[in-house]
Homo-oligomer: A and B are copies of this chain.
Amino acid sequence: MTSIRQSWLDIPVDSHFSLRNIPFGIISTAADPHRRPAVAIGNYALDLLEFSNSGGFRQSGFTNTSVFENPTLNAFGALGRAAHRLVRTYIQDILAASGPYPDLLERNHPLRERTLLPLSSVQNHLPLEIGDYTDFFVGRNHAYNCGVIFRGPDNALNPNYYHVPVGYHGRASSIVISGTPIKRPVGQILPDPTAVPKIPVLAPTQRLDYELEFAAFIATGNNMSERINVNDAEQHIFGYVLMNDWSARDVQAWEYVPLGPFTAKNFGTSISAWVVLSDALEPFRTKPLARPADAGDVLPYLKEKNEESVYDIELQVFYQTTDGDKAVISKGSTKYLLFSFAQMIAHHTVTGANLRPGDLIASGTISGEDSGSLGSLLEKSQAGKVHIAIGQSTRTFLQDGDTITFTAAADDGSGAGLVGFGKVTGTILAPDY
């Protein structure tokens, strides 16, 4: 594929799903509620099960088409990156103007009718069944900003921070697809953190927040007690999604010592529907955040041959209040990471933990360098001190009825179109209390 290849399909210039993207997801429709794999292209989903059943892959060289009979992408993911590449480039060939297979789909209107479904007509589902979900904390700017809020600028980052890709295991069961409403959680909160003795109450969180994150699905895992080498780690990644790690800050503050966040975060985590494959992100590689001179180097098991180990994909946070006020309140990038996903994977497996196809690994909150690129309300509102303007409204934390939408898209100005993630969106419902 050259960078200016176009499709015979009419793909809007601002579509996230250009010919050079081809992200994978799981769909159903009103006519067929059976969950099945698809790719997004322009304003359509290409139904891979129907396409495969109609012989669409016969000329592809891809023989494992039975994986498209599954209601998740785990089996496809587990085939490994060579298989993903084969299928993705073949689909690009099918969809390319003046491509090698014009009779297969472009001129086959009955098959187009059956397999190209308007995105507006499809329901998305979780793309993979998630075994374990791990959330890292390698968005250094976010870690620093939170550290300043809670401990002041001199001790903002813990001594281990520049050496350990800090992470923790999160809750897999409550990961939901974009569009799922989030009910305001009710949890243990300390009404007055300065009072003695410390007596909590059970109450709806008053500090409900979003966290802007980027996450990778594991394609192929490792055996227990075996490490994944940092320079092989990208081969284990299926692709990426956007994530909103909803967080109750008051619950978190009370519960997190000494074992980390628990009920403050396990009530719901939203992800975008379409998994953008690693290959589609190759043009957007860049270097991770520089290490300060006094931090020293990382340990050898975290040292990467490829210095451009993260991606520069523009992130946006769109806020819509329950009153209909709207604003883009943050513009950031996926590049503001101290450690790459390859480093996170190498560290995740260093003591021998086994990853499995479908595991989800998230970056932690990503904030940029300035106040316009922060990835959480905790940072934007300075823990509730600063009111954020959204049209005629102001906010410190989320109110019932508010909707948060993250979008992300990469563009290198080549004219070849966007490589985007669509969106991850969620609306806050009033608590059940």
Q: Name A's B-contacting residues (CB within 8 A).
A: 131-132, 137, 158-160, 163-164, 166-174, 176, 183, 185-188, 197-202, 205, 221, 224-227, 248, 251, 254-264, 266-268, 294, 296, 299-301, 347-348, 350-356, 359, 429, 432
Contact = CB atoms under 8 A, between A and B. Distances in A.
Contacts of A259: 137, 166-168, 256, 260-261
User: Which 3 pairs show the lowest CB-CB distances between chains A and B?
Assistant: A260-B260, A185-B351, A267-B352
A199 B298 CA distance: 10
Contact of A131 (B172, B251, B268): B172
Contacts of A263: 347-348, 350-351, 353
A343 to B, nearest CB: 12
A198 B173 CA distance: 37
Given A169-B171, A263-B348, A160 B255 contact: yes
Nearest to A263: B351
6 contacts: A131-B173, A132-B172, A167-B259, A174-B224, A224-B268, A225-B267
A262 to B, nearest CB: 6
Contact of A164 (B205, B255, B301, B353): B255
Given A188-B299, A259-B137, A224 B267 contact: yes
Nearest to A429: B225
A353 B174 contact: yes
A226 B163 CA distance: 39
Contacts of A261: 259
Nearest to A198: B159
Given A225-B267, A258-B158, A183 B300 contact: no
A353 B167 contact: no
A164 B199 CA distance: 11
A227 B35 CA distance: 29
